[in-house]
Amino acid sequence: MRKTNRIGFTLIELLVVIAIIAILIGLLLPAVQKVREAANKMKCTNNLKQMGLALHSYHDNNQSFPANKSLVGVTSIGWHVMILPYIEQTALGNSANPNLPSYITAGNVNRLLGGNKISTFLCPSYDQILSLSAIDNLPNGTMAYTMHYVGVAGPKGTNPTTGTAYNVNGPATTQAGLAADGILPFHKSLSTTAPATPGAVKIGDITDGTSNTMMIAEWAWQGLEATPGALRAWQRGGLWDNDFPACKNIGSSMRTVRYITNTNHNDISIGSNHTGGCNIAFGDGSVRFIRESIDLNKVLLPLASRNGGEVVTEY
């Protein structure tokens, strides 16, 4: 009888092959994730660079950074809307009406802006891209898109050089008050009443130096979406002595303070899903990665102040 050879794998051989493949995938996956995150971080940096340059272009044309509109009892549009013509969104920017609220009334032209996804306002490392506020819903039943970058309204706390408190407007009965010493505050000076025309910051007001003063920070870290959810529509600006979605007070370390309903929206921490810190655009248009571990009082608060006279030697 002729002897036949059986062709195939034994069970042990098959298990060995599967184990080897699993090990190779395990070794490859972290590398792929690392490359993907590097690309996301670069895209995020580019977003901030575009917004920083747009704010400077706005300043060149208007002799100040974007000024807030003081609308009685309602939230105005914010600086994200005002820089649209400078990030190749001219038609969308021209459709906005600064004299109307940013979201009150379903058919409001400003509220409808939220239905447009602006990739420049979104960090690819954070997958939450829609507002989490029920009042940001659109006529078609969808939710407005949000933004992952906020303006720096200013520091909140004590100036380590002078020992005096930084300026914060409003009695802080709702949403924690409005810091006033940054590049993008609601109103740039201390006031006990709502200003008819909120003051806007000019380059000359940044006496600490534009390269030493934060202008825009990432606001896109895991936890912002947790109930009750902090994300708001990108067209929202601010309201006197109330919430200021477009900008944030700097009064806490990164990724430490979440939203408490109707209490602290202006005080929610900046931060990102990038490992170890977040990208920040400074007043000179440069973008730097700032570590989460930097000292809050000696470094982060001074960097948020435009005119405090603080000396920051290293960060």
Question: Is 57 part of any domain?
Answer: yes
Query: What are the pLDDT digits (tens) for 243-276?
Result: 999 999 999 999 999 999 999 999 999 999 999 9
- The reported pTM is 0.89
Sequence-ordered list of residues with C-beta below 8 angstroms from that of 208, at least 6 positions apart, any chain: 302, 305, 306, 307, 308, 309, 310
Within-domain flag for 22:
no
Sign of the alpha-carbon dihedral angle for 60, 63, 68, 70: negative
Cβ neighbours of residue 21 closer than 8 Å, sequence gap 6 or more? none
Instruction: Indicate whether 16 belongs to any domain.
Output: no
Q: Per-residue pLDDT tens for 154-213?
A: 999 999 999 999 999 987 668 999 999 999 999 999 998 999 999 999 999 999 999 999
Instruction: Tell me if 98 is assigned to some domain.
Output: yes
- Asked if the structure places residue 79 within a domain, the reply is yes
Q: Which domain holds residue 199?
A: 33-304
Could you tell me if residue 1 is inside a domain? no
By DSSP bridging, strand 214-220 and strand 271-272 are parallel
Q: Is 136 contained in some domain?
A: yes
Is position 297 within any domain? yes
Q: How many domains does the chain have?
A: 1
